Amino acid sequence: MKKLALILGATLALISAGASAQATPGRGDSALAKDLAAVTRSTAWTQLSALKLNFPTYHPEGLVVTKDRFYLSAVEIIEPTVKYPEPVDGYDRTPGKGVGHLFVIDRTGKLIKDVILGHGIVYHPGGIDIAGDDILVPVAQYRPNSSADIYKVSTRTLKATRLFTVRDHIGGIVHDPTTGRYVGNNWGSRTFYEWTREGRQLTTWPNLTNLIDFQDCQYVPAGKMACAGITALPQAPGATGSYELGGITLIDLHRRAIVNEFPFQQWSAAAHVLTRNPVKLAATGSTITMWAAPDNGEEVGGTQIYTLQASVG
């Protein structure tokens, strides 16, 4: 009973901390941090538009939205990976072959430039974010427990620079200017890493949620991170296919605590939940804007960048 009481006490403390973070946003928090903390399961999202991209987009991974551009990372698969019967040299599958892309697109959907990223078997870009004048892009082997290179791409020159290498598959990255650290997540987003700007690993910490795997994250002032993703769940016995549960999580990077987490269940032309792959968010006052590009280029309707809005408070 004493052990149970301790467990219940710790659980109530965590719930209380989460509720406090939602009710009293921190000093210096942006409108986006405050608004995401106020979203609930009943928040209504309205689709404003769907911008069709009329060039090969392959499999989109990450998105950054600026005043006049979209930056969309994607992986082009030339040779799919194949699972080994038994692990080989610590890997569960072949490396496959592919090409990593960062598409620079104007706000009408016209392709400005295709920045090729990666080398050899390191060809899988992940979730991306903006830090100052640079787009941060992790490019990894397309298999778990492998390796990744962290790139920055200048928004002014579109020149790509490799910053450092990580001994794991990194599927997303943000920069926290309050600490000067980079924060990235690995395959399935089960583990987060923190590095210096020079790439020295400072620490790791486990994902705070088991609800979804994060696909794309972004820094949210001050000291927070918003991550969107999905979990593919099996259907009822006898049914075919899987069910995509979408969701968004707001995380306090300093306390390493979830501020808010909510499901997201709106669907694309190809019947994917909108948080399946790239997602970015912004806020003005109590209005949140979301951009999402869940569909592959070869799927029904091709890749479209959906724009949605919701009001909170």
Of the two residues 27 and 299, the one the predictor is more confident about is 299
Q: Where are the domains of the chain?
A: 25-311
Percent of the chain with pLDDT over 90: 88
Task: State the CATH class of domain 25-311.
Answer: mainly beta
For 256-303, give the DSSP string.
Answer: TEEEEEEEE--B-TTS-BTTSS-EEEEEETTEEEEEE--S-TTSTT--
Judge whether residue 15 has pLDDT over 70.
no
Pairing of strands 242-252, 257-264: antiparallel
Q: What's the token pair of residue 88? A: 């080989």
Residue 19 pLDDT level (bands cut at 50, 70, 90): very low
Judge whether residue 233 has pLDDT over 70.
yes
Find all residues with CB under 8 Å of 65, minimum gap 6, and list them.
71, 280, 282, 291
Residue 25 pLDDT level (bands cut at 50, 70, 90): low
For the chain, give the DSSP string.
Answer: -HHHHHHHHHHHHHHHHHHHHHHSPPTT--HHHHHHHH--TT---EEEEEEE--S---EEEEEEE-SSEEEEEEEEEEE---EEEEEETTEEE---EEEEEEEEEETTS-EEEEEEE-BTTB-EE-B-EEETTEEEEEEE-SSSSS-EEEEEEETTT--EEEEEEESS-EEEEEEETTTTEEEEEEGGG-EEEEE-TT--EEEEEE-S-SS-EEEEEEEETTTEEEEEEEEEEE-STT--SEEEEEEEEEEETTTTEEEEEEEE--B-TTS-BTTSS-EEEEEETTEEEEEE--S-TTSTT--EEEEEEEE--
User: What digits encode the pLDDT tens for the residues 137-177?
Assistant: 999 999 999 999 999 999 999 999 999 999 999 999 999 99
- The pLDDT value recorded for residue 1 is 38
C-alpha span between 97 and 74 (Å, rounded): 14
- The pLDDT value recorded for residue 247 is 98
Q: What's the token pair of residue 35? A: 């608004």
Dihedral in degrees, nearest 10, Cα atoms 253, 254, 258, 264: -20
Closest by alpha carbon to 109, among 77, 152, 65, 47? 65
CA-derived radius of gyration, the chain: 19
Pairing of strands 160-166, 170-176: unpaired
Give the amino acid at 3.
Answer: K
Mean pLDDT (the chain, rounded):
92
User: What digits encode the pLDDT tens for the residues 271-287?
Assistant: 999 999 999 999 999 99
- The pLDDT value recorded for residue 76 is 98
Judge whether residue 7 has pLDDT over 90.
no
